[in-house]
Structure 1
Amino acid sequence: MTTATRWNTPATAPRTLRFGEHTVTWLPDGYVQLDPRRWLPGTTEEDWTGENAGLLDPEGFLAASIGALLIRHGDRAMLVDAGFGPRDVPAADTRPALGALVGGQLPAALDAVGVDPAAIELIAFSHLHGDHFGWALCPGRGLVSPFVNAVFAASAAEWATLPPSKRGPARIRTVADGEEIFPGVTARSTPGHTAGHTSYVLTSGGRRLIAFGDVFHTPAQLARPDWRVAVDALPEGAVAARRALLAELARPGTSAFANHFSDVVFGRLGENAGTPCWEPLEEFY
């Protein structure tokens, strides 16, 4: 895969970075196609020309990866989010703002990095949309969650949105803003996309990694945090969350994990002619 196509092609292989005493690994599960004009209804055709045209796949969609972030510390392991699950939904059966929706790769990705799902002790959800909780709460196809020993964590506001029928026998934990939920990992309230949306901040080795969930869906939003997202529950709050996160990303030693940024999911905030932009990290091992 060329550097250019990584910006408009879903991630298909795990990628691991070291952060001090921790390692973080992107685990792909699949992807969803986002119609840029419908997902970001305030944008124009001109907004998707020039550099932003390179974010669109051959069908004209944003190729948004779906997966999970594995965080390991010693012999302990947790996930941020849990993919979509073993389901493929054709474009005709998804929402108008979406194209195809594909999942199913997460167990193979865990196996590729030598981690047994039973060893995951905690899954912290950024929010409770199906492309973030699939393998944990309702895998589908008659399957049960492979994360048999994990506690499932989200904000109280987020749990309130999920019907009890989708929780099943899961062990539920509520997380609060500023709470350390795993060694070096702190919850940060970022409401907007949903009322209880939560980001997670890993601090280790003098560096920070912010897993920001769906605060941003595409690198194009870094330059235009004011663009509204069609499915944001609290549009004004979502704009405020994006602006606040940009300020956090500008702090020294800060990187981010962007679940939906095609195959450039790890990066930092850069600047191009005075405009914020995404600079992918390439420190994989």
Structure 2
Amino acid sequence: MATATPWNTPATAPRSLTLGEHTVTWLPDGHVQLDPRRWLPETTAADWEGENAALLDPEGYLTASIGALLIEYRGRAMLVDAGFGPHDIPAEHTHPTLGVLVGGRLPTALESAGVKAADIELIAFSHLHDDHFGWAFRPGAGADSPFSSAVFAASADEWANWPPPRTGSPRIRGIADGEEIFPGVTAWATPGHTAGHTAYVLNAGGHRLIAFGDVFHTPAQLARPDWRVAMDALPNHGVATRRALLAELVRPRTLAFANHFSDVVFGRIAAESGTPVWQPWEENYQ
């Protein structure tokens, strides 16, 4: 039976770090179980033995945390993604690649960070899947959101197939690759999981923090970016994007925010051995 560790246990408490004048805080909302062999269908049973076995929960699933990244700067605040929302779905009612899918904690996490939902001026979505926009809105839900004051931003490709918001909805903003959307935060087109998937890069305090959304779902992919993901809309683009992202993550003074990496969501890539390895950023756990 697997031992509970930060690598296979959902995040339950906010984590923060300071980069210059910016403070970034992980706000947990819930988690989803990913079936490793179905999510990554090119893997074998042997791939989930040895070191990778530690990534599996007692039921044999990868535990993928769900939440949002709060970015604060000089009294202003934005989010990257918005969790899943107040839902608890058992495994038998989710997708065949998934186990349980649970949300609901984001408002409490935001409150603990001393920020009100009404203070959020912008929510930038990595992509428009329900575990990333849940507390913001659902298709056709319009203004039924605690973030009714926020502008909702995503790439034009993400908005292209989105149902038109009804009257009274928050403003919708399309963003371009390389555009600065908030002081120090730029968008980076990272297609694969969806056609318009976007990562967000914060340059602050002499560091670069890359919030890469669903480019990677588990640390096991770092050593094997060529593994295709069953739920990627563009699997070949996903492989190319993972390789391009890895080349950036190994650069000096580069940190990453990995929304789905259990309770080790902040980290960096250590590649001294020649194999990329996720190294949690310990400052967050003090």
Deviation at 1:184, TM superposition (A): 0.2
Aligned position for 2:32: 32
Aligned position for 1:127: 127
Aligned position for 1:218: 218
Aligned position for 2:117: 117
Check the 8 A contact 1:84/1:133 in 2, yes or no.
yes
State the one-letter code of the partner of 1:152: F
Aligned position for 1:72: 72
Deviation at 1:170, TM superposition (A): 2.3
Question: 1: distance between equivalents of 2:168 and 2:89?
Answer: 23
Deviation at 1:144, TM superposition (A): 2.3
Question: 1: distance between equivalents of 2:212 and 2:6?
Answer: 20
Check the 8 A contact 2:266/2:284 in 1, yes or no.
no
Deviation at 1:150, TM superposition (A): 0.4
Aligned position for 1:205: 205
Deviation at 1:277, TM superposition (A): 0.7
Matches for 1:1-285 after TM superposition, within 5 Å: 5-138=5-138, 144-164=144-164, 169-271=169-271, 273-284=273-284
Count of residues paired in the alignment: 283
State the one-letter code of the partner of 2:201: V
Q: 1:11 to 1:112 in 2, by over 3 A?
A: same
CA shift digits 1:101-160 (9 cap, x unpaired):
00000000001111100000000000000000000013999x921112100000000001
State the one-letter code of the partner of 1:32: V
Unaligned segments of structure 1, at least 5 residues = none
Check the 8 A contact 2:271/2:277 in 1, yes or no.
yes
Check the 8 A contact 1:137/1:170 in 2, yes or no.
no
Q: 1:284 aligns to what SS in structure 2?
A: helix
State the one-letter code of the partner of 2:138: C
Question: 1: distance between equivalents of 2:130 and 2:4?
Answer: 29
State the one-letter code of the partner of 2:154: A
Q: 1:167 to 1:48 in 2, by over 3 A?
A: farther
Q: 1:283 aligns to what SS in structure 2?
A: helix
Q: 1:195 to 1:171 in 2, by over 3 A?
A: same
Question: 2: distance between equivalents of 1:99 and 1:42?
Answer: 19
State the one-letter code of the partner of 1:223: A
State the one-letter code of the partner of 1:6: P
CA shift digits 1:240-262 (9 cap, x unpaired):
00000000001111000000000
Check the 8 A contact 1:79/1:120 in 2, yes or no.
yes
State the one-letter code of the partner of 1:127: H
Question: 2: distance between equivalents of 1:165 and 1:69?
Answer: 24
Deviation at 1:205, TM superposition (A): 1.1
Question: 2: distance between equivalents of 1:84 and 1:272?
Answer: 36
TM-score, with normalisation over the residues of structure 1? 0.95
Check the 8 A contact 1:138/1:166 in 2, yes or no.
no
Deviation at 1:167, TM superposition (A): 9.4
Check the 8 A contact 1:86/1:139 in 2, yes or no.
no
Check the 8 A contact 1:210/1:256 in 2, yes or no.
yes
Check the 8 A contact 1:179/1:187 in 2, yes or no.
yes
CA shift digits 1:168-198 (9 cap, x unpaired):
7121001000000000000000011100000
CA shift digits 1:82-115 (9 cap, x unpaired):
0000001100000000000000000000011111
Check the 8 A contact 1:85/1:140 in 2, yes or no.
no
Q: 1:280 to 1:254 in 2, by over 3 A?
A: same
For the aligned residue pairs, the C-alpha RMSD in angstroms reads 2.0
State the one-letter code of the partner of 2:102: V
State the one-letter code of the partner of 1:85: G
Q: Could you list the structure 1 runs, at least 4 aligned residues long, displaced by more than 3 angstroms after superposition.
A: 165-168
Question: 2: distance between equivalents of 1:138 and 1:175?
Answer: 20
Unaligned segments of structure 2, at least 5 residues = none
Question: 2: distance between equivalents of 1:80 and 1:167?
Answer: 24
Deviation at 1:37, TM superposition (A): 0.1
